[in-house]
Amino acid sequence: MYSSNLSVPVGDAPAHNIPATGEAEERTRDRVLYSVLEDGPVSAAELGERLGFTPAAVRRHLDALSKQGLVEVKLVANQRTGAGRPSRRYVLSHRGQTKMGNDYLDIATDALAELGRAAGPAAVEAFASRRFAAMERRYRPAVADIEGLEERAEALSEALSADGFVASTRKVGADSPTATMLSVQLCQGHCPIQDLAREFPVFCEMETQAFSRLLGVDVRRLSTLASGGHVCTTHVPVGRNQTPQRAEKRTRIKITKQERPR
């Protein structure tokens, strides 16, 4: 579990009550930062709607967070059509992820590097395997009695969020008449061991294998924070799309006796 340095108020203060300076201003900015972490990539308009702020107030806070190097802009294409200009969406930067808490990671990274030098890469792999085996045992009761794969993925997402990974799921392919397969994307907006996993990718590999065993299906990692993605995304195939496809129009051509080839 990560230890956050943020103080996030629970209530939604209206935009006209947002103070311009002082401690309340800092708490409000932390709320915006946390919402970018939880919902990113997210637009300024979406943030304003979720937090109850005016667009001008949200942009003021986003500009300040951007100047501090805590958030950055991603240009995201329309996911449904891919057409039109990409929209500006905000995600946490690496510095922002660090602000959310990664205590003792430098020490842990140095210790694992020393372990690798002394006992070889297999020792680091064995350590990572034991770590995620423990996580798998802890999460197993959360998914054990759930039959539907989509529901299991959602339960796993909730368990990950309880441990500070800010996880969510979204279904992919349900609204597309051309998609033949449905999937769920399991997203993690925060990784408490991001810097460590950057040095030792085996941690991401072991986590992916643990997800596969917990969900009972082969999953695939699409992106990780450790490799530069703005979220960790795991592809979970859930079945064939049941959306009816447009029937192919067939035209029967009647050939008379005189027209048949000789």
Which residue reads 């930062």 in tokens?
33
Q: What are phi and psi of 191, to 5 degrees?
A: -130, 110
Of residues 83 and 182, more confidence is placed in: 182
Angle between helices 121-143 and 105-119 (to 10 degrees): 130
* For the chain, percent of residues with pLDDT exceeding 70: 73
Give the pLDDT of residue 6. 40
- pLDDT tens digits, 204-257: 999 999 999 999 999 999 999 899 888 899 999 987 645 444 444 444 444 444
Give residue-wise pLDDT tens across range 81-114: 445 576 788 887 777 776 665 556 677 888 888 9
Q: 232 by DSSP, 3-state: which?
A: strand
Residue 14 predicted with pLDDT over 50 = no
pTM of this structure: 0.61
Element (H or E) spanning 109, and its range? helix 105-119
Instruction: DSSP letter for 189, please.
Output: S
8 Å CB contact between 174 and 243 = yes
Q: Which are the contacts of 65, defined by CB distance < 8 A and separation ≥ 6?
A: 29, 32, 33, 36, 71, 96
pLDDT tens digits along 100-156:
655 566 778 888 889 999 999 999 999 999 999 999 999 999 999 998 999 999 999
Lowest mean pLDDT among 43-47, 165-169, 187-191, 236-240: 236-240
| Mean pLDDT across the chain | 77
The pairing of beta strand 232-240 with beta strand 71-76: unpaired
Residue 179's pLDDT is what? 53
| pLDDT score at 247 | 41
Would you state the pLDDT for residue 34? 82
Round to whole Å and give the CA distance between 171 and 160. Answer: 18
Distance CA 238, CA 240 (A): 7
Residues paired with residue 90 on neighbouring β-strands, in sequence order: 42, 73
Q: How confident is the model at residue 1 (pLDDT cuts 50, 70, 90)?
A: very low
Per-residue pLDDT band at 55 (split at 50, 70, 90): confident
Neighbours of 163 (CB within 10 A): 15
Query: Does residue 50 have a pLDDT over 90?
Result: no
Give the confidence band of 176 by pLDDT, cuts at 50, 70, 90: low
